[in-house]
A and B are shown apart, each in its own frame.
Chain A
Amino acid sequence: MIEKGKISALQMGILMYHAILATGILFIPASVYDAAKQDIWLSPIWASPVGFLCIFIAYKLNKLYPEDTIIQYSQRILGTFLGKTLGLILLLMLVTSLSVMFWQYGEFVVSEFLPHTPKFVIIGMMILLCASAVHGGLEVVGRLAGMVFPIFFLLFLVIIVLLLPDIEIKRMLPIMENGMMPSLKGSLVLYTWFAQFGIVYFFLPFLTNREKAMKFGMLSVLVVMLTLVLTNIVVIWIFGNVTENFNAPFMSASRYISIAEFLSHLESLVMAIWIAGTFIKLCAFYYTVVLGTAEWLNLSDYRPLVLPLGLVIGVFSLKAFLNSSEAAEHFEIVSKGFMDTLVYGLAIPMLLLLAAYIRKLIVRHKGESEK
């Protein structure tokens, strides 16, 4: 195995939590509101099965090939040529995804907080930071996730408590005004987020306690779902039908905190902590790209790839979109049309699992006929 370090199942769960939520917590409420209106808080519940399914499939595949990541077992299941092709497609999608994430990070920081700073500086700084963590290996990424999580989660809860004076429960009523459909439609957008749980197939071979992988994976999905439900409820309680006017409603909500004339304008603090969460998310995806590429090329070490791939991703993320309206178009497509995360997170592993079972059947059939 290329990766020598190991993480615990709990660390994996926390890593996945960040990988989904760090950016999700900002952008999900507004994007779901479009379809679900005041029922946005129900949508995460409907979408969470996708997450559970992703974890389940990755876990099953890992049981069949416990020492391999998807890049390796796809070759064992489909043969070298098909497997490599599938691996390449997967990696390209991951690189695209990651580049878009970096772009999102850069765009958000520049537009909200540092309007005069060139975007390549912000993105470049983050890529260097992530590269140093990825260079340390999965162990380091896992440890960082474990350290950031309590701060991230605590801040989330504190913000909600501080927002309590401003809420108006009336705004979420009537619940299910038009039946289940709006919230179900809203959950479609969330599939792309929950499907990102699929990348867990890169971490499962490196667990110290693999028997608990399922438990903590599922727990991670559950906590993500609950966090999203809570976020969406709070957002709808505060903004009601103006939610869609905000790019990142939860962040904007933190601007309204004002306790005792002293605790006010916490959005900078919120953003600082959010950066820590996003850093973990980016590290997780960056790591999968680097590890996957190294395995795809049959290298003995992935570390030499960290910086070159960082450069590629940096260029991609800077040239990803000309402007934010083009980006919006892109997000429209990936969230409603071609859902790329659903493809690499769910469809490809599902295909592989099916193929693996069929293969097993054939092998068994052959064995019987030979007898």
Chain B
Amino acid sequence: MRVFYRKRVKLKKNNRDQHNDAQHLKPLYSDLEQNLEMLHMLYDDCSDVVFRSFLIAGKTKAQLIYIKGMANIEEMDSNVLTPLMNNAEYSAINAKSLIEQKLSVAEVTKLESFNACIEQLSIGNPILLLENEQQGYALGLAKWEKRSIEEPTGELVVRGPREGFTETVEVNTSLLRRKIRSPQLKMKSLKLGRYTQTTIILAYIEDLANETLLEEMTQRLSRIDIDGILESGYIEELIQDHSYSPFPQVLITERPDTAVSSLLEGRVVLIIDGTPFALIAPTTFFALFQSAEDHYHNFMISTATRWLRYLFCLISLLLPSLYVAIITYHQEMVPTTLLLTMIDSREVVPFPALIEALLMEITFEGLREAGLRLPKQVGAAVSIVGALVIGQAAVDAGLVSDHMVMVVAITGIASFTVPRYNLAIPIRMLRFPIMLLAGTFGLVGIMTGLLAIMTHLSTLRSFGVPYLTPIAPMKGKDMKDTLIRAPLWKLNTRPHFTGDYNEYRQAADQKPDFDKGGEE
């Protein structure tokens, strides 16, 4: 493995050398014509880039460059072109002071190299170049179409804020900042992707996030050198600890409140431009079972729902296998009356239980996948067909037994109780090898499969934090928000991650009580 890494590093260096020999790192010339020539060359065949030349106060040559659809044209007209072009009386003074006095634009950045020009242009800011000036100006007039803040569809809640991240990184950071007003919320920005130059924001709270975690995260991010980053998945795959694992080692969320609660626990949040999915690291297996609203509802209800999720997670992993194992090897475990009806309904089925289960489960997975991709208009058709396939028609055709239909249906429902889609998928997929084991070895096989999964989970780490914390290794203190959801006035300490940390999150002993006064 280590050898492999070393090779990759070497490869990376070579590529980067080739990449950086471009001439756009050069500083701007003082001659406007030369600058324009260069920019024209760089933006050759880019029909979306507009070069607009004009004269300031009818004398000084100037050039306004912007990208169509990314700049606010009305404001450019009224705040840039109009004041600059109509200033006959300022004929003699230099352009610099003209800009200071006349340009009614809030954000003006000085540009000194072509590189900076390209960067500003590509985020939508128009740039202004003047004659005999060795610097240009980027005007903060970017404006492009973006999705408004909507309810996140992937993580629905009954109670809780309804806003979700959008594709725009500025909107997402503002959503975080609106929740954490303290200046200790830090957001480091970096750009990744050779061509996409995607903005990545590394958000954390100073004094809460572990220094080594930050260092590790920055280091892992700096190792990334690919052509483009289109979604947080690219980053996730390149920074996770164990590549050969189906389990997610980074938490994904669309919800600002989930991101904020993670920040308050000392985790690090990565916001990636162009996707509403933020990454949270480190994460643990049990954090993936938490829903945002666990902390908004009554703690007893939240505890119960959490246990329901654990139970149904096990069901979605094991139920078909248990059915197969018991039908094939351990019939004595079934109560006699039930066994009789089972035999009755299995009588017409020509397959062994394992084949029957595989047939139905694969069909179900197919239906689920189809339902996900199908256009909305034909969605209804799938549900009708699906109801027939996994339903009475299949039983009547003598392909499967009644009980199998029930098992598959319950398993299907169970797999959707896992609140994270990226955890539900590996659990659903692991069901199949366990089914095979159950079909060949009965309960011994199921136990072996389960132990293999447990072993795998115990070897995993997410940014140095053992994946199964706080169950294995045991951390009694952290179980208050894992096995149960303790009342808020009991959740005094933050979960313990590697190294030292800011332990207490709130004042102790806040249980509301009559004795505490209020009424003298």
Give A residues with C-beta under 8 Å from B. 7-8, 10-11, 109, 113-114, 117, 122, 125-126, 129, 132-133, 136, 139-140, 142-144, 146-147, 261-262, 264-266, 268-269, 271-273, 275-276, 279
Contacts and interface: CB of A to CB of B under 8 A. Distances in A.
Given A143-B468, A147-B468, A264-B335, A129 B452 contact: yes
Given A146-B472, A147-B472, A275 B333 contact: no
Interface stretch (B245-253, B297-305, B454-462): B454-462
Nearest to A144: B458
Contacts of A261: 335
B381 interface: no
B332 interface: yes
A265 B332 contact: yes
A272 B447 contact: yes
B443 interface: yes
Given A143-B466, A147-B468, 19 more contacts: A8-B473, A10-B474, A11-B474, A114-B442, A129-B452, A136-B458, A140-B455, A143-B468, A143-B473, A144-B458, A146-B473, A147-B472, A265-B330, A268-B329, A268-B332, A271-B443, A272-B444, A276-B447, A276-B450
Interface in B436-479: 441-444, 446-448, 450-452, 454-456, 458-459, 466, 468, 471-474
Contact of B452 (A8, A132, A275): A132
Interface string B62-75: 00000000000000
B330 A142 contact: no
Q: Determine the main DSSP class of B at the interface with A.
A: helix
Contacts of B441: 114, 117, 122, 125
A94 to B, nearest CB: 22
Contacts of A133: 455, 458
B472 A144 contact: yes
Contacts, number: 91
A129 B451 contact: yes
Contacts of A10: 474
Contacts of B472: 143-144, 146-147
A274 to B, nearest CB: 9
Nearest to B445: A125
Given A136-B458, A261-B335, A272 B446 contact: yes
B341 to A, nearest CB: 15
A31 to B, nearest CB: 24
B335 A262 contact: yes
Contacts of A114: 329, 441-442, 444
Contacts of B468: 143, 147
Nearest to A11: B473
Contacts of B452: 129, 132
Nearest to B468: A143
Contacts of A273: 447
Given A132-B455, A143-B466, A144-B472, A268 B443 contact: yes
4 closest Cβ contacts across the A-B interface?
A143-B472, A136-B459, A143-B458, A265-B332
A102 to B, nearest CB: 14
Which among A122, A261, A268, A273 has the greatest number of chain B C-beta atoms within 10 A? A268
